Amino acid sequence: MAALCDLILNNEPLLDQLFGAGRFKIKEVNDLCCEIVTDAAQIHVAYDLYRMTTDSQLRPLQVPEDLSESMPVEWWLRYLDRDDPLRRRGPLTAEQVTAELHLVGDIIQSALATLHAARDAACFLKGYEHGRLDAD
């Protein structure tokens, strides 16, 4: 199985398109986890061996520190009132990684496009997190 970071690096033209040419840094955490830092967000991409899917979390970087928390992609999609696409299950593949990068790129371009949009999204997600914790 190829390392996740290698599959992400193979998508450099897509990364340039989504985040801006050369406006991102990639750091390998381990074979199944990689971190991408852009101007707008810190993205944690990981392959879940149990569920056999590629998942991500985003932490906005353009908001005050008390609002800047890492939240799962599913919560960001809820903020944008979008359905969570059915993720392909199976061994780690380039297709899974590409689909996840497209999803993350769309979230960044929609929810984190401006400082005002990023703050609104972060406030919603902070409240959503508190609501979920209170329900438990």
Positions of E strands within the chain: 24-30, 33-38, 41-48, 53-60, 71-72
Question: How much is the average pLDDT of 49-73?
Answer: 92
Quick count: other Cβ atoms within 10 Å of Cβ 16?
Answer: 13
Q: What is the pTM of this model?
A: 0.88
Which pLDDT does position 133 carry in this prediction?
57
> pLDDT band at 41, cuts 50/70/90?
very high
Dist CA 57 CA 112 (whole Å) = 14
Mean pLDDT of the chain: 89
3-state secondary structure of 125: helix
On the question of pLDDT at 107 being above 70, the answer is yes
Q: Which range is least confidently modeled, 35-39, 84-88, 130-134?
A: 130-134
On the question of pLDDT at 136 being above 70, the answer is no
